[in-house]
Structure 1
Amino acid sequence: MFLFVAETSLSLLRHPDYCISGYSSVDVKRSVEDGEKRFNQLSIEERGKFDEETLVNVNNIRKQSTSSQRAGGFSNEYIVITILVAAEGVHKLPSINGSGDLKEALQKLGSLPQSKIMAVEVLWTPQNENDTLTERQLLEDYPLLRPL
């Protein structure tokens, strides 16, 4: 799990010109059970924004669907990447108000100790090259994103 967070963070840090907006939040829970419940709730909320999931990778087992609800020569206008991390302890991330804040948040995520990481999900939409995410959909589904 640790490598997944580190690699995702590093990949985004290497391509800051592709990042046009961001958002971060931290939610501290008193028990592992409450943390797991919140993590699962956030996962369902985020995945519910997708029209479909065309690629799923759990424990290095990949399942890929070749279907797409939206076909027809459109290029992807936007891609949203969501990183959910459940970690032991209290960790702080900056509020994202600019590219420097995003860089700091990604560096902090990428440097979390492996022993503290309990769960990770990296979600992105659209996943299929024939699918699109328009600016309207982006604004409707992700109202908390802040321009960088």
Structure 2
Amino acid sequence: MEQDLQAMSDSDGADDSELTNDIVTVSRLQIALRSRAKRLQTKLSDIALRANTATTEGLFELLQETASTLLENADFWTHVLAGSQTVDSREQAEALFNQYSIQERSKFSAETLTNVNGVVSQKAPVATPSSEQSAYVVVTLLLGTADDAPLFNEIYSTSLLRDVLEEITLLRSRFLLVFELLWTPQDVTDSLTEADLASDYADLVPIA
């Protein structure tokens, strides 16, 4: 669920200095939810399949729907990781964005749904039985925006997370350069164990 940063750099001729300079803000927002939020995985799959990821408008709609869906599931939030960094060039931003994307995808046991530049790919999930109690789903939002300052600071509470997600729904569409939605597991019959969360997502901060 992404778009090339350089390809999205041309906005609609707006005069805003933030839109015409090379400064880019790259943000990562990662939320762990209790696996009882089974409808979340289904909803994310639905909106990802519908999204037109080949256009700025489609990516913005995907971002808004994702943020709204996470707000609807606030009762299931357990952990969060938030970071937003401003860099001086689009090349730096693209490198940082790709670093985050590769880092997060490397944690997946399987990626059964992708929608990149409007091309959808689906694979049948492979069952991976575990004797441990399943507990979590982790959702990651990666954004590149034309803002000249970070979108948010570190988050340590549900109230701050709610505020950030609400602000994301109010972002200006023309400022969105790139967006990628990742969640794991994607299979609704699967979820992450306590051990998975501790080993792969050790930087997440408990908020519930």
Please list the CA deviations of residues 76-95 of structure 1 after superposition, one character each: whole Å capped at 9, or x if unmatched. 52100000000112233132
Q: Does 1:61 align with 2:119?
A: yes
Who is 1:104 aligned against? 163
Q: Does 1:5 align with 2:63?
A: yes
Who is 1:93 aligned against? 152
What one-letter code is carried by the residue in structure 2 that aligns with 1:81?
A: V
Who is 1:115 aligned against? 174
Distance of 1:73 and 1:3 partners within structure 2: 39
Cα gap change, 1:72 to 1:97, in 2 (>3 Å): closer
Who is 1:127 aligned against? 186
The structure number with the bigger radius of gyration is 2
Moved over 6 A (4+): 72-75
| Residue 107 (structure 1) shift | 1.5
Q: Quick check: 123-132 or 18-27, which moved more?
A: 123-132
Q: Which 5+ residue runs of structure 1 have no aligned equivalent?
A: none
Percent of pairs with identical residues = 32
Q: Quick check: 68-77 or 127-136, which moved more?
A: 68-77
Task: Kindly tell me the number of residue pairs found equivalent between the two proteins.
Answer: 148
Pairwise CA RMSD of aligned residues?
A: 2.0
Q: TM-score, normalised by structure 1?
A: 0.91
Who is 1:137 aligned against? 196
Structure showing the higher strand proportion among its residues: 2
Q: Quick check: 127-136 or 22-31, which moved more?
A: 127-136
Q: TM-score, normalised by structure 2?
A: 0.66
| Residue 5 (structure 1) shift | 1.1
Give yes or no for contact 2:133–2:194 (8 Å, CA) kept in 1: no
Which of these residues, 101, 106, 115, is aligned with residue 48 of structure 1? 106
Distance of 2:95 and 2:130 partners within structure 1: 39
